[in-house]
Amino acid sequence: MNYLNRNRNLILLLLSSIINKFGDVFFDLFIIWEITIRYNNIMDAVYLLSGSILFRAVLAMFSGIIADRFDKKKLILFANLSSIIIILSFAFGFNYYISNVNVCLLLILANNVNNEIFYRSSLAMGAEFSDKLTFIRFQSMIGIANKIIDVIGSAIIGLLIALIPYSAIFLLDVLTFICSSLFVMQIHYVYQKRNITMHRKHIFQSVIADVKTAMNYIYKKKYFRYFTLIMFILNLAYGFIPNILPLVFSAENNNSMTFGIIKSAITLGSLLGLLLVAKCGNKVSRLFKISMIGCAMCMIFMILPVNTFLLVFLFLSYGFFDAITQPLFSYTISSIDKEIRSRVLGGIDTIILLSPSIGMFMGTVIMQVNHWLGFIYLAVIFILAFLLMCLNDDLNQLEVKDAGSHK
């Protein structure tokens, strides 16, 4: 924590982000749980989740534009306040909302807007507060916290559902966003207002100009072209492996417990990987290359007949190798020009968030044809990303040596 102790703002932002994540997990899991139980149809939950993911791809660009244009601290507070309003609306109209899946989806999508604004604003603010290495470590700590919250969130919400009425759950959820806001209010952040014309009749043209600015930035800079291409390719696997592949093995074993064990193994592996990042996050390119080789090897070994223990170990290893790619993403964020950072990041995310759904479809089709082909297909994705990394001089030797310098 030494690198954070020097920066009170980062500590406050970290605490705010962690508590905000708790609030989001509580809200999403509770609504999805209630929908699934009430209608005894898991497809309704899938409908909510898939709609939410697709909406995020659209939001990424525009939330980035908003984060660049306005005071990030105020945006975070606005996002928390808006989430509180949505949760209170749900609490007072619970029976009506929960009986209408489409209305639930609209409210979840509305809350996704808040999530994206909070995420983009806090990400950009954190980058402004820190040098490259500190930001990499800061992001790894948020990643560790988020993984822990994902693991225990479902257990906590399940316990709360069994013990307390839904009104109390909503009250606790509101308190998380209030606490998150209180931490943000303590952050010392001076917004440097930009001279931007936002006359109503020019808003559409201004948004189009912002989109063009972001896309031109990505296209004209070789580093960002390669980074976006690499992440798009990798998300073909990232969409399939943690979401669909555990289901494949569970169906083969006809054991629902296998699914939960595999998901837990991936999460535990990710935690271990992020702990390594917190110590060695400055070795950006080296960690990424190790990750690609490790992930490819995990996929190849899954071709072989393995017992449950080895299977869990392979998924744990995959989670570990997957997590150590995080420094590259953090390094890239901190390398974007401050004035357009959120817009460019939103543009990158808009592109790469289109590939997970494609990857889930392609992976499922190939796996249905032949499992060997499926695992080879996944391994090739990681090998291709490794080669693209090696072929780009800007990406091949990234190493943060000290504050503000890199190799």
CA dist., res. 145 & res. 12, Å (int): 14
Binning the chain into helix, strand and coil, the percentages to the nearest 5 are 85, 0, 15
* Stated length of the chain: 407
Identify residue 52 by its one-letter amino acid code. Answer: S
Q: Give the integer Cα–Cα distance in Å for 386 and 230.
A: 9
| Class of domain 210-402 (CATH, top level) | mainly alpha
3-state class (DSSP) for residue 336: coil
- Which residue carries 């980062």 as its tokens? 10
The residues spanned by each domain of the chain are: 2-188, 210-402
Pairing state between β 400-402 and 405-406: antiparallel
**Residue 370's pLDDT is what?**
87
More confident residue, 35 or 200: 35
Range among 108-122, 188-202, 291-305 with highest mean pLDDT value: 291-305
Q: Tell me: pLDDT of 265 over 50.
A: yes
Q: What is the DSSP string of 238-267?
A: HHHTTTTHHHHHHHHHT-HHHHHHHHHHHH
Q: State the DSSP string of 41-89.
A: -HHHHHHHHHHHHHHHHHHHHHHHHHHHHS-HHHHHHHHHHHHHHHHHH
User: Is it true that 2-188 and 210-402 share their CATH fold?
Assistant: yes
Residue 405 main-chain phi, psi, to 5 deg: -120, 155
Dihedral-angle region of residue 156 (phi above 0 means left; psi in -120 to 50 means alpha; beta otherwise): alpha
- The separation between CA 197 and the C-alpha centre of its own chain, rounded to angstroms, equals 32
DSSP 8-class letter at 354: T
pLDDT digits (tens, 9 = 90+) for 308-348: 789 889 999 999 999 999 889 888 888 888 777 777 877 88
Backbone angle region of 254, left / alpha / beta, with phi > 0 → left and psi within -120 to 50 → alpha: left
Q: Per-residue pLDDT tens for 351-383? A: 887 787 778 778 888 888 888 999 999 999 999
First CA to last CA across the chain, in angstroms? 25
Report phi then psi at 118, rounded to 5. Answer: -60, -45
Q: Give the residue-averaged pLDDT of 53-67.
A: 69
Q: Is the dihedral of CA 239, 240, 245, 251 positive or negative?
A: positive
Q: Which of 187, 136, 167, 154 lies closest to 22 in space, CA to CA?
A: 154
Cα–Cα distance, 332 to 348 (Å, whole number): 11
CB 67 within 8 A of CB 338: no
Task: Please report, as a single letter, which amino acid is at residue 7.
Answer: N
* CA torsion, ordered 326, 142, 49, 113, to nearest 10 deg: -110
52 exposed, middle or buried (CB, 10 Å; 0-12, 13-18, 19+)? middle
Superfamily of domain 2-188: MFS general substrate transporter like domains (1.20.1250.20)
Question: In 198-325, which residue ranges form alpha helices assigned H by DSSP?
Answer: 203-220, 222-240, 245-253, 256-280, 284-301, 308-323
| Kind plus residue range of the DSSP H or E element containing 153 | helix 132-163
Task: Give tens-digit pLDDT for 203-261.
Answer: 556 667 767 777 788 888 888 889 999 999 998 998 788 877 876 776 666 555 666 67
Q: Would you call 405 helix, strand, or coil by DSSP?
A: strand
405, pLDDT greater than 50: no
Residue with tokens 């044809």: 369
